[in-house]
C-alpha cells in the first residue's frame, strides 16, 4: 500500500512537459484577454455567449488548417500551401455545385465534400512524397504548391462564383440553436445562441487530432520525428512514412477547411483565404507549437486561433478599426509568444542559455 502511495505521489510531483506548459500559458492568456474584454467592453456584446460562438463560426476553417499545420510543425516541417488549397477547393466546389445537375441534394453535397477532400488529398500526397521520399525542403515544395493552387483557382474562374444550389444553401442556413445560452431582446423575445455546423466540425477535428497525437502510434512517431530525427531512426521509427502521413493529414484537413469555408461564405473567389496560412502558423506558435518541431498541442492551437480572433474582434469594436492595427497587434502578440517560448524552454534546462540581461539577480560585470 505504501509503495502505491509513493508511486502516486511521484506522479503528482512530475513537472509539466514543455507541450503542456506552453498550452497552459496560451489557455490562461485567452481567458484573461476575454475576461478583460467582458469587463471593459461588455456593452459591445462580450457578455453574451453568442459572441464566443461567433468567434467559432467565423474561424472554423482557420481552426482546421491550424490543426493541420500543427501536426506538420510538430514533425519538424512546414506547409504554406494550405491557404491556396482552400481557395482552390472553394472555387471547385462552388462550380461543381452550380453545374453538376444532380437532383438529389444529399448526393450532390456528398460528392462536393468528396471533391474537397480529394483536392486536399492530392496536394497532401504530392507534397508529402516530395518532402519525405525525395528530401526536398518542405518550404520550397509547399511554396510551389501555394502558387500551383492559386493558379489553378484563377484558371477555374477569374470572377466570383456565388453558389446557387438550393440544397447547399439550406445547409448553410442550418444552425444549432442553444436556447439556454441565448438572451432576451428589448422587445422581450428570446434569441437563442446559434452555432454553425462548420464550428461543430472544427471542434470535432480538434478532438480527433488530439487523440491521434496523444494516444496513437502515428502521433508518437510524429513527436519523435520532430524532437530528434536521428534518435527516431535509432528507435526503429519509419521517419519517412511518419513525415509523409503528416502531410497527407494536412492536405485532407485543408480540403475539409475549404468545404467548411464555403458553408460559411457560399461564394468562390480567387482571393479566398488569402494569407490564411500565415494566420494558421501564427495561431500554432501562439498555441505553443515550436517551429523546430517536437513540441505542440492542437488544444493550444485552438486557443491560439481564439486569441487572434479575440484580438481582431476587440480592435474591430474599438475606434482603431483600420486593418493595420490588427496586423500590428497580431504581430506583437506573435513576437511576445516567441520570446516567451524561448524564455520558458531556456529556464527549463534547454541547451539555449538566457542572456545575462534577462537573468534575475545576474552578477554585474566589472572592468
Query: Would you say residue 20 lies in a domain?
Result: no
Question: Residue 184 above 50 pLDDT?
Answer: yes
Query: Would you say residue 87 lies in a domain?
Result: yes
Whether the predicted model's global pTM rises above the 0.85 cut: yes
**CATH code, 162:** 1.10.3470
Query: Would you say residue 68 lies in a domain?
Result: yes
Query: Would you say residue 354 lies in a domain?
Result: no
Query: Would you say residue 10 lies in a domain?
Result: no
Q: Among residues 91, 93, 61, 65, which one has the least CA distance to residue 80?
A: 65
pLDDT one-digit tens code per residue, 310-343: 988 888 777 776 777 777 887 887 888 778 777 7
pLDDT one-digit tens code per residue, 226-249: 888 888 888 888 999 999 999 999
Question: Residue 361 above 70 pLDDT?
Answer: no
Phi, psi of 182 (to 5 degrees): -85, -165
Query: Would you say residue 148 lies in a domain?
Result: yes
Query: Would you say residue 137 lies in a domain?
Result: yes
d(CA 300, CA 208): 14
Q: Could you give the number of structural domains in the chain?
A: 1
Sign, CA dihedral 229-235-239-242, equals: negative
Continuous H helices in 75-132 = 82-99, 105-132
The string of DSSP letters for 299-361 reads: HHHHHHHHHHHHHHHHHHHSS--SHHHHHHHHHHHHHHHHHHHHHHHHHTT-SS---GGGSTT
Query: Would you say residue 213 lies in a domain?
Result: yes
* Domain range for 56: 30-344
Amino acid at each position: 500500500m505504501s509503495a502505491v502511495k509513493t508511486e502516486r505521489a511521484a506522479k503528482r510531483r512530475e513537472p509539466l512537459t514543455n507541450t503542456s506548459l506552453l498550452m497552459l500559458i496560451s489557455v490562461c492568456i485567452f481567458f484573461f484577454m476575454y475576461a478583460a474584454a467582458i469587463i471593459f467592453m461588455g456593452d459591445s456584446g462580450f457578455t453574451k455567449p453568442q459572441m464566443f460562438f461567433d468567434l467559432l463560426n467565423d474561424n472554423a476553417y482557420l481552426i482546421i488548417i491550424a490543426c493541420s499545420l500543427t501536426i506538420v510543425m510538430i514533425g519538424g516541417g512546414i506547409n504554406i500551401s494550405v491557404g491556396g488549397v482552400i481557395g482552390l477547393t472553394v472555387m471547385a466546389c462552388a462550380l461543381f455545385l452550380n453545374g453538376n445537375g444532380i437532383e438529389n441534394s444529399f448526393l450532390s453535397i456528398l460528392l462536393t465534400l468528396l471533391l474537397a477532400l480529394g483536392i486536399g488529398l492530392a496536394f497532401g500526397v504530392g507534397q508529402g512524397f516530395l518532402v519525405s521520399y525525395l528530401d526536398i525542403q518542405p518550404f520550397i515544395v509547399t511554396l510551389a504548391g501555394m502558387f500551383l493552387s492559386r493558379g489553378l483557382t484563377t484558371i477555374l474562374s477569374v470572377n466570383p462564383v456565388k453558389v446557387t444550389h438550393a440544397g447547399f444553401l439550406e445547409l448553410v442556413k442550418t444552425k444549432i440553436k442553444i436556447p439556454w445560452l441565448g438572451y432576451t431582446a428589448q422587445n422581450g423575445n428570446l434569441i437563442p445562441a446559434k452555432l454553425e455546423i462548420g464550428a461543430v466540425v472544427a471542434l470535432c477535428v480538434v478532438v480527433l487530432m488530439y487523440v491521434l497525437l496523444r494516444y496513437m502510434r502515428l502521433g508518437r512517431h510524429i513527436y519523435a520525428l520532430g524532437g530528434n530525427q536521428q534518435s527516431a531512426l535509432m528507435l526503429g521509427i519509419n521517419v519517412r512514412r511518419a513525415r509523409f502521413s503528416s502531410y497527407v493529414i494536412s492536405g485532407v484537413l485543408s480540403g475539409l477547411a475549404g468545404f467548411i469555408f464555403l458553408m460559411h461564405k457560399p461564394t468562390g473567389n480567387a482571393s479566398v483565404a488569402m494569407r490564411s496560412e500565415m494566420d494558421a502558423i501564427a495561431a500554432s506558435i501562439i498555441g505553443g507549437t515550436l517551429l523546430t518541431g517536437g513540441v505542440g498541442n492542437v488544444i493550444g492551437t485552438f486557443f491560439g486561433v481564439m486569441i487572434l480572433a479575440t484580438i481582431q474582434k476587440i480592435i474591430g469594436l474599438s475606434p482603431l478599426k483600420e486593418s493595420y492595427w490588427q496586423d500590428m497587434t497580431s504581430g506583437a502578440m506573435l513576437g511576445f509568444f516567441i520570446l516567451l517560448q524561448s524564455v520558458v524552454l531556456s529556464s527549463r534546462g534547454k541547451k539555449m542559455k538566457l542572456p545575462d540581461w534577462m537573468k534575475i539577480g545576474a552578477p554585474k560585470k566589472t572592468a
